[in-house]
Structure 1
Amino acid sequence: MRIDYYFSPLSTYAYLAGTRLEEIAARYGTEITYKPMDIIGLFARTGGTAPADRHPSRMDYRAQELRRWSKKTGLPLNPKPMFWPTNPAPASYAIIAAQDAGGGDMGKLVHGVLRACFAEEKDVAEDAVVAECLENAGFDPGLTLSGMLTGAETYARNTEEAVDVGVFGSPFYVCEDGEKFWGQDRLDDLEAHLAGTA
């Protein structure tokens, strides 16, 4: 079984997933294909609303949920990061390039980028920040530059694929057999599916 993991490096809930997807995949011998995508472009095409345009009642509830999930997962979270929103493309391109290059820990890289944004007050649009995340995960930090062209093409393709397969948010997990799971709060359901108990 393969899982296509659609996400944005600016997704708070992708951050709060931690490395649970990787832990689940390891238990079931499941391959993960990481597919960073343009979440704002996705919202525009699938009926979603960007956070800045949501009703205050929805944003108030979101703030409570983030606080609860941060406590539940033990992951430190700044609900209003200094550099959010920012340009997600540099980090997305680097993640794509790293996956193509191999040799490092993809889960550690993706979580490192998300942690930089939501817990470390770093701007993931800056090459130096992304290079540090690459290096910490065992990848060549030079991928911030060498992967730009291919990364841009794949990023656009990932977004198109996301629309085509019914993705409408982040994090979103699509199994090879077509089963879909939206949100870090559905990872237990994803595991049950892989185990054949759901």
Structure 2
Amino acid sequence: MGRTVDYYFVPQSPWTYLGHARFAELLRETGASVRVLPMDLGRIFPISGGLPLPKRAPQRQSYRLLELRRFSEALDIPLHPEPQFFPVAGDPAARLITAVAQHDGDGAAMRLTGAVLTAVWAQQRDIASLDVLAQLLTETGLHEERLAQSQQPDVQARYDAQTQAAIDLNVFGAPSYVIDGELFWGQDRLDFVARKLRA
């Protein structure tokens, strides 16, 4: 039986975007399964030493933009380092992905996650907009009722539980991949994820 990767992320993360397609391909290559687990970094940062982007030192913000351009070019993945709709609230999209995972499975949630990330970083769309989220459901062939379901208390409870699980695993940033309790942080650690899955 193949391994399972617990995939913790926020849907507005450029680093998650840069790694998502490669991660999905790695899952296909290795036959590993995935649990798609959006989390709330707003709850995690205060207890892990992280800071929201606007509160980071100017030199850190500047270097982040440099690295985004480097990775975009190196990976040949289109990316606007400063997209029109960013910073953007990720909770509505995170709850929608959570609802899709619950009702349609993790494969569908992976597909929607890819579309949401692309919407922010390549297409400059506002993923906090319910209209945009509805469009993304249609574009990925998913049921439109998932949007209403994503606003129900049971989905919020699941989202909260995913965030608490991330905290319990010492996750502190996105994307994070957890295999057999071992944490791998960042899309630039996917080589190590591959080694673990192929071992």
Q: Same fold (TM over 0.5)?
A: yes
Aligned residue number for residue 173 of structure 2: 169
C-alpha displacement of 1:31: 1.0
Count of matched residue pairs = 195
Q: Distance in 1 between matches of 2:12 and 2:41?
A: 8
1:106 to partner: Cα distance: 2.6
Query: Of residues 10, 22, 26 in structure 2, which corresponds to 1:24?
Result: 26
TM norm structure 1: 0.93
| Alignment of 1:122 onto 2:132 | no
In structure 1, what is the equivalent of residue 192 of structure 2? 189
Whether the 8 Å contact between 1:105 and 1:138 is mirrored in structure 2 is: no
Q: Does 1:46 align with 2:48?
A: yes
1:154 aligns to what?
158
How far is the alpha carbon of 1:68 from its aligned partner?
0.4
Q: Is the 8 A contact 2:101 2:108 kept in 1?
A: no
Is contact 2:149–2:155 with CA below 8 Å preserved after alignment? no
Deviation at 1:33, TM superposition (A): 0.6
Instruction: Give percent identity, aligned residues only.
Output: 37
Gapped regions of structure 1 (runs ≥ 5): none
SS at match of 2:20: coil
Aligned-partner Cα distance in 2 for 1:171–1:146: 25
**Deviation digits for residues 107-160 of structure 1, max 9, x if unmatched?**
221011011111111110111211222222221022111232222111111111
Structure 2: where are the runs of 5+ without partners?
none
Equivalence for 2:135: 132
- Runs of 4+ aligned structure 1 residues displaced above 6 Å come to none
Correspondence for 2:89: 87
Whether the 8 Å CA contact 1:19–1:107 is kept in 2: the answer is: no
* RMSD, aligned CA: 1.3
In 2, Cα distance between the equivalents of 1:12 and 1:78? 9
> TM (normalized to structure 2)?
0.93
CA positional deviation for 1:49 = 1.3
